[in-house]
Structure 1
Amino acid sequence: MSTILVTGGTGNLGSLVGARLRAAGHEVRVLSRRSPEFPVDLRDGAGLDAAAAGAEVIVHCASSPRGGDDVAAGHLIGAARRAGTGHLVYISIVGVDVVPFGYYTVKRKVERMLEESGLGVTILRTTQFHDLVAQAVGAAAKLPVVPLPKGIRVQPIAVEEVADRLAELAAAPPAGRVADMGGPEVHTLPDLARAYLAAHGSRRRIVTFPLAGRAYAAFRRGGNLAPGQAVGRGTFAEFLARAAEK
């Protein structure tokens, strides 16, 4: 079995990946700013060499919408080279190559950095997680009416299924960019918002509005979707039902 470092290992996805790898018998190192074992901020890289030393595989789940993912990836690639790590697994997003949205653009830059690093890499792109969609709608639902961009479709996927796939890829040889993972259903954002509001007993009115710009146009064209890779099984309705039971 392997020694595997999971960045973002205390987060929603990383913690699930770590649990699956441990269950499979691997030694797992958890790296994040809040990790008691390896409290590393990838944006400055301090302590990263110690965390990576002896790691045969790195699963890179850490990410920040506030920016700096490319800087973090540069530090991680350097540490992986120094440690002699043979495999780096990266979670990316469907559409990073066709949707000119700032966060997506940086994710695509990280993909290229990994592809050009000389390391053994595996890159998995997925559609949005159920909980991310719920968080976005929940934030909008705090207003008197629920404002949502018009014409956007989403194909949410269960984070648990993505964790299963990442753990599987981490235990296998480097594979480059593998097949995308999409959720089982494509819905309009207002439809998902209605389901969320109903599950929370809210009758707030949804108001859609157009946006300007190339990123919005790419989202409207479905650049964030993977209908040909609808391999996910858990639906958004099932996610909401499970959340209501907690």
Structure 2
Amino acid sequence: MRVLVTGATGRLGRVVVPRLRDEGFTLRATSRRPRTGDGVEWVSTDLATGAGLAEAVAGVDAVLHLASSPQRRTHEIDVLGTRRLTMAAGHAGVRHLVYVSIVGVDRVPIPYYRHKLAAEEVVAAGSVPWSVLRATQFPEFLADLLKGASRLGPVIGDRAVLAQPVDPADVADRLAVLLLAGPSHRVEDFAGPQVLRFDEAARTWLAARRVRRPLLPVRIPGRLGRELRGGGLTTTATPTGTRTWADYLVDTYGGTGGR
């Protein structure tokens, strides 16, 4: 199977590309700047303008759409760029488009999530048969959040917020399954094996880094807080990934009591 991977240089893309390559997929990967290497064919594209998309989708069986821009030009790239990609893929006769989204985009009132949900709708309305995988947050994201929450000393946050971190390698494995299975025309949730409260994640993160800091509880107000405490970022869907938050801490810091 010949697959185009957008966002191949991102956090998930850097894991997905070697996973699919080792599985035997023939890969073409997109980047905004010319690249070589990694055993794939690289093509330069720009979702914001559509430049290079027709060439990128030509001759591929499936598109795995990972590209996203949460910090800037999000509507232009995530929504309009996804529309440009789906149209180009439709014209090229692509048989399957797999879009990676986020668990909670239909519940949690975050502007970026609204764009991801809109992009899902673009994919579902397009002419290319499709599948959507909503993944929960990666452990690295949770660790970055904890670093930001502790930059003033104590770890500041809503202790009852729930998360279900999933390892990117587990997501890569699931995406390989979806590509081989073909279009499902449905949205699938995929998460890690364990639901954590913010205070639990913070305590284990501090212990793994041998850092002693207090937790300063600050309740997130309004609907955002209610959804985050009510499990808006979690799911009961199965199957789940296998690697836990504790596994991430061991890999990154050497486990509880290590650096």
What TM-score, normalized by structure 2, do the two folds share? Answer: 0.88
Structure 2 CA distance for aligned equivalents of residues 82 and 89 of structure 1? 17
**Whole-angstrom CA distance in 2 between matches of 1:21 and 1:238:** 23
Q: Which residue of 2 aligns with 1:45?
A: 50
Tell me if the contact between 2:5 and 2:27 (Cα under 8 Å) persists in the aligned partners.
yes
Q: Distance in 2 between matches of 1:82 and 1:171?
A: 22
Q: Partners in 2 of 1:39 and 1:140 — Cα distance?
A: 37
217-226 or 114-123, which deviates more: 217-226
Q: Which residue of 1 aligns with 2:183?
A: 174
Q: Deviations over 1:135-185 (max 9, x none)?
A: 111222332222113421111111100000112211221112254212111
SS in 1 for 2:221: coil
In the TM superposition, 1:136-151 aligns within 5 A as 136-151=145-160
CA distance in 2, matches of 1:148, 1:80: 43
Q: Structure 1-normalised TM-score?
A: 0.92
Between the aligned partners of 1:206 and 1:72, the Cα distance in structure 2 is 41
How far apart are the structure 2 equivalents of 1:212 and 1:34? 42
| Structure 1 range deviating more: 92-101 or 158-167 | 92-101
**1:98-151 Cα shifts (integer Å, max 9, x gaps):** 222211111111111111112100111121111111111122233222211342
- Determine the structure 2 residue equivalent to 1:61: 66
Q: Is the 8 A contact 2:86 2:127 kept in 1?
A: no
Letter in structure 1 aligned against 2:22: A
- State the secondary structure of the residue aligned to 1:227: coil
Q: Quote the residue 2:128 is aligned against.
A: 119
Aligned length: 245
Q: Shift in Å at residue 197 of structure 1?
A: 1.6
Change (3 A) 1:41 1:140: farther
Secondary structure at the aligned position of 1:90 is classed as: strand
Does the CA-based 8 Å contact 1:186-1:227 persist in structure 2?
A: no
Identify the residue that residue 5 of structure 1 maps to in structure 2. Answer: 4
1:178-222 Cα deviation digits (max 9, x unpaired) = 542121111111211121122112112221212233222211221
Question: Which of 185, 190, 199 does residue 190 from structure 1 map onto?
Answer: 199
Q: What is the aligned partner in structure 2 of residue 72 from structure 1?
A: 81
Paired AA for residue 25 in structure 2: H
The residue identity in structure 2 corresponding to 1:203 is R
167, 172, 178: which one aligns with 1:163: 172
- Once the two structures are superposed, the pairs formed by residues 219-230 of structure 1 within 5 Å of their partners are 219-229=228-238
Q: Secondary structure at the match of 1:5?
A: strand
Q: CA deviation digits over 1:14-58, x for unaligned, max 9? A: 122221221122210111334512232312221121111111110
**Which one is further off, 92-101 or 52-61?**
92-101
Q: Aligned partners of 1:45 and 1:196: how far apart in 2? A: 42
The whole-number CA distance in structure 2 between the counterparts of 1:211 and 1:123 is 30
**Amino acid of the residue matched to residue 202 of structure 1?**
V
The answer to whether the 8 Å contact 2:165/2:192 transfers is yes
Matches within 5 A, 1:78-157: 78-157=87-166
Give the distance between the partners of 1:101 and 1:175, measured in 2 at CA: 27
Runs (4 or more) in structure 1 with deviation over 6 Å come to none
- Quick check: 129-138 or 26-35, which moved more? 26-35
Partner of 2:245: 236
Rate the CA distance shift 1:155–1:80 in 2: closer, same or farther, 3 A.
same
Of the structure 1 ranges 36-45 and 159-168, higher mean CA displacement relative to structure 2 is found in 36-45
Whichever residue aligns with residue 11 of structure 1, its letter is: G
Letter in 1 for 2:183: P
